Amino acid sequence: MPLHTHVCTEIHQNYNLHVKYSLSIPIFSFRSTFTFMNREALSVFDIFKIGVGPSSSHTLGPWRAARRFIQQLDDAGQLKYVHHVICRLYGSLAKTGKGHGTDVAVMMGLSGYDPETFETDTLQDKVNQIRTNSRILLNGKHETEFVPARDIVFLKNESLPFHPNAMELCAGFNNGETVSRRFYSTGGGFVVAEGENDAPAAVKPLKYDVHDADELLQNCMRAGINISQLVMENELQWRSEEQMTSGLLRIWDVMQQCIYAGCTREGILPGGLNVQRRAPALCRKLLAGAQHNDLNSWKTAVQRTPQSFTNIMNWVSCFALAVNEENAAFGRVVTAPTNGAAGVIPAVLMYYHLFAGGNSQRDIIRFLLTASEIGALFKKGSTISAAMGGCQAEIGVSSAMAAAALTERMGGTPAQALQAAEIAMEHHLGMTCDPIGGLVQIPCIERNSMGAVKAINACLLALQSDAERMKVTLDAVIKTMWDTAKDMSAKYKETADGGLAVNIPLNLPEC
C-alpha cells in the first residue's frame, strides 16, 4: 500500500502555538477497502454493541475514538504532559455532529468514560461541568483547559477521502510538541484509525468461512445445520459457550430494559425539535389500565392484552418507538447494527418473545446469532453507515437482519431465512438519510417502526414461498444496495442537506 507523508502546520489563535505534526498515511480507495472487508471475520458482539444514543457512527464511534486516543497517550506515559487537546470533525460528522451529540461524545471519550457502562443519567451534568469550568479531566486523571466551543472544530466544508465520518484528535504538550491521529467512524460503532482496516482481528480461524450469502447457504446445506447453529460453532472458536451465552443474554437484557424505559418515560426529546415521546401514551392506551411495576410484570400485562392483528402490530410499533425515543435522549441502547436503527431488532424480538413462542433463552440467543450473521454480510459486501449509503444502510439492514432471524425461529429453512432478508432489504433500497435538524428523531424514530413491521411481513412472505424459485438473491440485493449507495447524492447521506431536512420549515439552532 503506497504511503505519503501528511504534514500540517497551523496557528491556533487561542493558544498562540504552532501546531506541527507529521503522519505517514496510507492512501485508500473505497473499493479496495470493501474488497478487503469481504475477507473479514465478524463476531455477533461486533454487530451488537452496548452503548449510548443517539448515533452509533456520530456518537458511539467518536466516543470510542476519543477514548482510544487518550488511552494511548496514557499508556505511553504522555498524558501528564498534555497541555491541550483539539478535535476536528470532518464531513458528515461536522454537518450533523451537533444534532447527533458528537461533541458530547468527544468530551466523554476524552474523559475516559466507557460508553458501555457509563451512567447515562449523569451525562448532561458532566457535559455542563466541562462547559462551565472550561476544564476537562483527561482519562479521569489529568486536568487541563478545554473549551468545547473552541477546541471541538466542526469543518462542515471539508472532508477526507477514506470515509465521510472523519475526525482528527491532536494533543499539545507542555514542551510545545504535538501528536495527532485521524480516526474514521465507519458505522455501527466501528472505528478505524488512519492506516488501519476496520476488520476485527480473528484470534482463531473459524470453522466455517462465510463471505457472502451463497457461501453461508452452502455451508448450512453441507453441514445440515441452520444459520444460528453455524454462527454458534464459529463463535465457539473464539470464546466459551458460557461467555457467549452470558454476553448475548446481557444484550437482550439491555434491549428489554430500553423498551421498558421508553414505554414508561414521559417528556420532550432534547435537541430543539420539541418532539413529544409517543411510546408511553401508546403503551398506556394498549394496556387499558393494566398495572405493572417492573419489566417482568409489564411483559405479563402486555401478553394479556387482546391478541388481534391490529393490537399486536400496535405493540410492535410501540416497542420500536420506545427504543428510538430512548436513543434520541442519549439513553442506553444496543447498536443493531446501528443506533439510528436500534429499535427494529428489539421490537421484532420482543414480538417473537411475547406473541410468537420465543420464550426460552435458547430462542433469544439463536435469534440474535442469525440476525448478526445477516448484518455481517451487509457490512462485508456493502455498508452499515448512513453517511456512506443513506438510511437503506441502517433501517434496511436492521429489517433484513430481523426478518431472517424471525424466519429461522418460526421454522424456516436457511434458504427461506435468506429470502426473508432479501425481501426486507429489497423494499428499503434507495432510502435516504435526511434527519431534520441533524437529529436522530424525524424521520428516524418512525422508520424503526416501519422497518420492524416490514421485517415481520418479509418473514411471513418467505415462510409461504419456495425459496428455490426466488429470482433475486440476497447477494444480488447486497450488491444492488452498494451500487445504489455509490450513485446516491451526498446530500441524502446523513448531512441534513437534502430531503425532509430542508423541506420542513423549523426554527432550530444551526446543526
Task: Give me the mean pLDDT over the 56-71 stretch.
Answer: 94
- Higher-confidence residue of 97 and 415: namely 415
By the 8 A CB rule, do 110 and 171 touch? no
With 60 as the cut, is the pLDDT of residue 346 above it? Answer: yes
Domain positions in the chain: 3-193, 213-237+239-503
By the 8 A CB rule, do 452 and 406 touch? no
- Higher-confidence residue of 407 and 12: namely 407
Q: How far is residue 455's CA from residue 426's CA, in Å, rounded to a whole number?
A: 11
pLDDT digits (tens, 9 = 90+) for 209-252: 999 999 999 999 999 999 999 999 999 999 999 999 999 999 99
Q: Are strands 3-12 and 17-26 parallel, antiparallel or unpaired?
A: antiparallel
- Has domain 3-193 been given CATH number 3.20.20.150? no
Q: For the chain, what is the mean pLDDT?
A: 90
pLDDT digits (tens, 9 = 90+) for 366-378: 999 999 999 999 9
The string of DSSP letters for 257-269 reads HHHHHHHH--SBP
Q: Of all residues in the chain, what percent carry a pLDDT higher than 90? A: 82
The model's confidence at residue 198, banded by pLDDT at 50, 70 and 90, is low
Q: How far is residue 335's CA from residue 185's CA, in Å, rounded to a whole number?
A: 14
Q: Are strands 332-335 and 82-90 parallel, antiparallel or unpaired?
A: unpaired
Q: How far is residue 350's CA from residue 320's CA, in Å, rounded to a whole number?
A: 10
Q: How far is residue 451's CA from residue 428's CA, in Å, rounded to a whole number?
A: 9
Is residue 10 within a helix (H) or strand (E), and if so which, with residue range?
Answer: strand 3-12
pTM of the model: 0.87
Is residue 390 within a helix (H) or strand (E), and if so which, with residue range?
Answer: none
What does the pLDDT read at residue 9? 35
The model's confidence at residue 203, banded by pLDDT at 50, 70 and 90, is low
Q: How far is residue 349's CA from residue 163's CA, in Å, rounded to a whole number?
A: 32
Give the three cell numbers for residue 399.
429489517
pLDDT digits (tens, 9 = 90+) for 296-315: 999 999 999 999 999 999 99
Q: How far is residue 59's CA from residue 196's CA, in Å, rounded to a whole number?
A: 21
The model's confidence at residue 24, banded by pLDDT at 50, 70 and 90, is very low
Q: Could you tell me which of 73, 76, 83 has the C-alpha nearest to residue 143? A: 83
What does the pLDDT read at residue 8? 38
- Higher-confidence residue of 387 and 202: namely 387
pLDDT digits (tens, 9 = 90+) for 489-498: 999 998 989 9
